[in-house]
Amino acid sequence: MAYKYLPFYETQAFCVKVFQGYGFSEEDSRMITEVLLEADLSGIESHGIQRLTRYDYEIRSGFVKIGSEPEIVYETPISAVMDGHDGMGQIIGVKAMDLAIRKASLAGIGIVTVRDSNHYGIAGYYADMAAKKRLIGISMTNSESIMVPTYGKEPVLGTNPIAFAMYAEPAPFCFDAATTVVPRGKLEVYAKRGSGLPDGWAIDETGRPSSDSDRVLKNIINKSCGGILPLGGAGEQTGGHKGYGFGMICEIMTGILSHGCTSNHVNRTPGSINTSQCFIALDYGIFGDKAETEARLSTFLNEIRQAAKADGEQRIYIHGEKEFERHDKVLRDGIPVNEKTYEEMIRIGKQTGAADLLPKYVNR
Amino acid sequence: MAYKYLPFYETQAFCVKVFQGYGFSEEDSRMITEVLLEADLSGIESHGIQRLTRYDYEIRSGFVKIGSEPEIVYETPISAVMDGHDGMGQIIGVKAMDLAIRKASLAGIGIVTVRDSNHYGIAGYYADMAAKKRLIGISMTNSESIMVPTYGKEPVLGTNPIAFAMYAEPAPFCFDAATTVVPRGKLEVYAKRGSGLPDGWAIDETGRPSSDSDRVLKNIINKSCGGILPLGGAGEQTGGHKGYGFGMICEIMTGILSHGCTSNHVNRTPGSINTSQCFIALDYGIFGDKAETEARLSTFLNEIRQAAKADGEQRIYIHGEKEFERHDKVLRDGIPVNEKTYEEMIRIGKQTGAADLLPKYVNR
């Protein structure tokens, strides 16, 4: 399927107007748009504007409550529990990480767990918020069940991404990864492309390996058995139990420590999705001189870049480096979207009164 | 190769005498033995008594300094940096986690990073120490380079295990996993058995996949290229960059935050191994009622146990459950060791004056 390229700033203006069209304030609309398009700027198509249709559905169906304010329901100098009251995940996420950052600045660390939130976009956005303040940033979210635990065929964990970021020169370290082999968004991209799934990604409702993205996604939507495998794949030989374990750590830090929903209870209550999240900011000044710590990381990252490459490979990437370098290209060439996504934008533009700002595309 | 079964308490008495034979105090010898044999009790052969020969080498060669005391070189109410001064990793580890636990009891969290330590056994032991006190326990260690980063052929990260434990009924959640597909100890077990490595575990010095455990281990010992792949395997399609990323998080939390060595500098200085570690204790009382939090985790773990099994599978395990259930069997039947390990015990017993306590084996 051919890609169309949308000019970045026009697309941004369009999104802001779309979210205002739903009823969000201009400030909130800008906040949501920034998190959303950061994914496209970073080349993470799965979590960018192709997901607008899902947010459109969740907002219009009332799962996302416009105007609801997150509430701090438990607090200590180093921690807080926030009830998102079904607000937009991106707004809750930015406020929760801001709170974690304030606590870290005062007390060395801030850990904010969140319940009754919604999908919040890329976990890395929030980790990066802290890294930009010279703090280690960590963020995790659970999600509707999609990960099949080792030896199971019923999904009970979400894709459960874990993001971890820290300042370094010339580019920050920013790790952001689903604890499944791939995130749900990647299946959506494959389904839109109409291409089959690679081996080792997913199983069908009988528990057998499947390369059929439509079938796997249909099972997920119908809450049937089958789903995505944990990082490490099926069984234990290549470490599938480890991916499942990292997914469990995410569940504990989000759903359990917020007294909210674990993934197997997400999107099971009429009218609410009830996602749980966690935001950590850590001031590494509590371990010594910050500039020295950062210099040590920068040196280490450089040693890795310079290590011997596998035959036929030109480069070893540091986490976040591809995404960091992608920004300039997207600003220059535009955001690549496939035809289906563009059609969704046309429909959503009309429904929200933003049609006049629909960005014109360029084919490349 | 046939396994011999060693009675647990006799083996324990033997180990204590071995470590006293090197010059450790009785208390320290008991501490080291407890961590070492906890691996065998948990069925983690790779990190149990089969590794005695490696400790024997490191102690007799002077890498491990007997009688050295770990020193706190930086401290805040929630953190500390400890210099291990090349002491035995298990002694440093227990003291560092004790300190993290004390800080968590007073301030909600304690994070202790350690530099200039040695191999400390199973990371899960230290995480469990906190879980037994109704705190979340986290521990990580780097190690001599063995993990090849995605697109590289030169190892620059260690096996870098991450352990995470939390109290639950009827058994705690205890995750403990190398961020490589498998730990080095597993290669050692395969080499001792004389059997080939499964696909997707390792690459040789040319960067090609290898099933030859002797060759892979020899390269590791000679610091040649080749090594173990990150969790997720080669390339990015099945998430190898994610295992590499979790390994990086371990490096940052250990080598970088302690101002110690990252894995690519571990065991590169004559006379010192310079392993770095991290110990975190988190009092989840900072997020609300602890009993309710624990009950929520216990419920969730039970929901996972009861989820639909893959065709042909009887059971979904929670992390730590196999190990927890293994204890009774090992106490009853003895510690399984292969012939080569038993021969090493005979030699070490003679050298340390513990030969009279060498446990008699039973063949099964």
| Full-model pTM | 0.97
Chain pair A-B, CB pairs under 8 angstroms: 232
A311 CB neighbours in chain B (<8 A) are 153, 206-208
Residue B153, min C-alpha distance to chain A (Å): 5
Single out the residue of B201, B212, B89 nearest to residue B147, CA to CA. B201
Judging by beta carbons within 10 Å of its beta carbon (0-12, 13-18, 19+), is residue A291 exposed, middle or buried?
A: exposed
Tens of pLDDT, residues B212-251: 999 999 998 898 899 999 999 999 999 999 999 999 999 9
* Alpha helices (H) along A222-272: 240-251
**Mean local confidence (pLDDT), B80-107:** 98
Tens of pLDDT, residues B79-93: 999 999 999 999 999
Nearest CA in chain A to B290: A257
Of residues A152, A231, A284, nearest to B309 (C-beta): A152
Range 167-206 of B in CB contact (< 8 A) with A: 173, 175, 177-179, 181-182, 198, 200-201, 203, 206
Length of chain B, please? Answer: 364
Which region, left, alpha or beta, applies to residue A112 given φ > 0 means left and ψ of -120 to 50 means alpha? beta
Residue A200, min C-alpha distance to chain B (Å): 7
Residue B137, min C-alpha distance to chain A (Å): 11
Of residues B108, B149, B307, nearest to A78 (C-beta): B108
Helix H, strand E, coil C: the string for B144-202 is CCCECCCCECCCCECCCCEEEEECCCCCCEEEEECCECCCHHHHHHHHHHCCCCCCCCE
What span, in angstroms and rounded, lies between the C-alpha atoms of B119 and B39?
14
Helix H, strand E, coil C: the string for A312-330 is CCCCCCCCCHHHHHHHHHH
Mutual angle of helices A339-352 and A8-22, in 10-degree steps: 40
DSSP A267: T
A357 interface with B at CB cutoff 8 Å: no
B259 interface with A at CB cutoff 8 Å: yes
Average pLDDT over chain A, rounded to whole?
A: 95
CB B237 within 8 A of CB B218: no
Ranking A10-24, B180-194, B311-325 by mean pLDDT, the lowest is B180-194
Amino acid at B96: A
CB A158 within 8 A of CB A143: yes
H or E, element range at B322 = helix B321-333
Single out the residue of B136, B125, B158 nearest to residue B249, CA to CA. B158
Q: What is the pLDDT of residue A206?
A: 85
Determine phi and psi for B17, rounding to 5 degrees.
Answer: -70, -35
Tens of pLDDT, residues A179-210: 999 988 788 778 878 889 998 899 998 888 89
Cis peptide before A336 (omega within 30 of 0): no
Nearest CA in chain B to A241: B319
ipTM of the complex: 0.97
What span, in angstroms and rounded, lies between the C-alpha atoms of A168 and A302?
10
B198 CB neighbours in chain A (<8 A) are 237-238
